Each structure stands twice: as C-alpha cells, then as structure tokens.
Structure 1
Amino acid sequence: MRSVRSGTKTFVLLREVLMAYVSPAVMAGIGGLVTADKILQFRALTTIGGTSALFALLIGLWLRAKGKQKYWLVRSPQWVVIGLFALGGSMLGLLSAFVTTSIFEIAKLTDFLAWSGHIWIDFPLSATIASTIISWRWRASIKK
C-alpha cells in the first residue's frame, strides 16, 4: 500500500511484525533441515522467530507512537538511525538473554531445555536484525 501524495510505502506494524517472525524462522528452519538439526528447527520457531517478532513489535510500537516527535530520528541520515537502532537492539538482546538465562538458572531449568544454551546467540542476533529492519522500514515510510 502506497501513500497517494508521497509515493512512499506506508508502515503497517502487523505486516512488519509478521515478516519479522517469518523471515528468520524460515531461514533458520531451512538451515535446520539441511543440517538435520532438530534443535535448530525448534529454535527457528521459538527463540529465533519469537524474539524477532517481539522486538519488532516493541520497537515498531515505540516508533509509531514517539518516532516522529524525536527530531534526531527524522532529520539524521538514515544510516545513522539504523546503526543506532541495530546497536540498541543488540544491547537489549544481550540484556534479555542475561535475564532469561538467570531465571532459567534460578528455576533450575537449564538441564531440561536443550536449546537454553543457544539463547546467548539467538536473542541478540534476532533483536539486532529485527531492530535494523523495523527502523529501516519505518524511516523509509516517513517523509521529511
């Protein structure tokens, strides 16, 4: 769907969140099928796709509500905005991995969940990719 006046594509959050889930889940799922790694196939649908969708939703909601009010987001070069969101996404992904593994260790769940050791890779990487794509697509949809 394109805006009539500006010719730019409109930012539809539900579509962006859906693509943020599907894209990494499909790619990781294909990797799991090719390597016959059942844990990677499971992670593709849970920690990889889920983290991407969650971060895309949270960042998209924030950008939709407050993004145009922030002068530096609208006026800065696009690569600066995207780089800062990618850095912020990776930091939030690391923080969420730390909190999640801490909770798993306190509750003694690390022995029961085979994929819990991969959270340190899945969360930061998925959050970085989701925040980069969402900020890029949001920034491309606004007019200066």
Structure 2
Amino acid sequence: MSGLTPPTSRENKRKIANSKRRASVADRRAARPFTLWREVLVAYLAPALMAGAGGVASGKAGLTLAAFTSIAGTSAVVALLIGSWLQRRARSRPWTTALPRILVAAILAVGAAVIAGLVGWFASRWLPDHTSVVDTAWLARLQFDLPISAAVAAVIVTWRWRRQKP
C-alpha cells in the first residue's frame, strides 16, 4: 500500500534539491579559467581599497596615498609578472605542478619579497644619496610596502593558478 500513496512533500523537496545541486568543482574550474588581466585587476583593486580604507579611517594621508601607489602598484606588477611566468614557462618547470600548492606559493612569495625588498632598499637608500631625489617619508615606507605587497600578490596568484591545474 505504501507504493500507492503519493510522495510526501519532504520527498518532493529532496528530489528538487538534488536536481538543483551545484556543479562539481571540476566543472566550475573549467568554466572559470585563469585569466591574467582579471588577476592583475584584482591584485590592484583589493589592496588599494583595503589599505585606502584603513588610511581614511585612521586619518593617515600617507597610507591612503601609498595604498593606491606603492602598495597596489607593487601587487599588480608582481601579479602580472608571476602570472605571465606561470602561464608561459611553468610547463617547462615541472616543480610548479609536482610540488604541493602551498610549497610553490611559499617559494614564489619568498622570491618576490626578496626582490621587492631589494628594490625598496635601493629606492629608499641609494636614490637620495646618488640622485636628486629628496629623502622623504614615502621612500622609507617602500622598504615595508614593497616586500609585503609582493609576497601577498605572489601567494594569491600562484594559489589561484594552481587551482586550475589538475
């Protein structure tokens, strides 16, 4: 007799829920491939808005200016460089896909931070001594802004790139 009774509303809801299930993770990855221009845009906008909001909220004009120049600019440049390197050259370097994702992201983050730290040191120390650039407070910020922005951008771009790889 139970086979003749109509299904309860709970059973109907379960069938509807099963039919509307989200696509699998592999399907979503295929639908949204790694796009370099989008990564660079997000790498610029995210730190610019977050650090800019922090500068406005705290009343620090230097942080607000740095948010849209050295912090976000560094992040966008690093995202562009690492993202394009990963798209073009990573296939010839098997360690980028053989190592765990966290290790690849850490290696590239440390490398980007070291290079950006050297650029920050060069800009803040060498330029005022050897050129007509005046030693100002924004030059001193570069030693901290550049390596941190580079490391964060490297981790995010590498993580998102590796997510697309099998």
**Distance in 2 (alpha carbons) for counterparts of 1:130 and 1:85:** 10
Q: CA deviation at 1:108?
A: 3.5
Q: Which residue in the other structure is 1:39 paired with?
A: 62
- Unpaired segments of 5 or more residues in structure 1? 1-5
Q: Which residue in the other structure is 1:119 paired with?
A: 142
Matches within 5 A, 1:1-144: 6-7=26-27, 8=29, 9-101=32-124, 102-111=126-135, 113-143=136-166
- Unpaired segments of 5 or more residues in structure 2? 1-25
Counting aligned pairs with the same residue, the percent is: 36
Equivalenced residues, count: 137
Paired residue type of 2:164: S
Q: Structure 1 104/139 Cα, relative in aligned 2: closer, same or farther at 3 Å?
A: farther
* 1:1-36 CA-partner distances (Å, limit 9, x unpaired): xxxxx4223110000000000011111101101111
- Partner SS for 1:115: helix
Q: CA deviation at 1:100?
A: 2.0
- Could you tell me the TM-score, scaled by structure 2's length? 0.78
- Could you tell me the TM-score, scaled by structure 1's length? 0.89
Following TM superposition, where does structure 1 have runs of at least 4 consecutive aligned residues deviating by more than 6 angstroms? none
**Distance in 2 (alpha carbons) for counterparts of 1:73 and 1:110:** 42
**Distance in 1 (alpha carbons) for counterparts of 2:63 and 2:129:** 22
Point out the structure with max Rg over C-alpha. 2
Q: Which residue in the other structure is 2:4 paired with?
A: none
**Distance in 1 (alpha carbons) for counterparts of 2:129 and 2:69:** 19
Paired residue type of 2:129: E
CA RMSD of aligned residues (A): 1.3
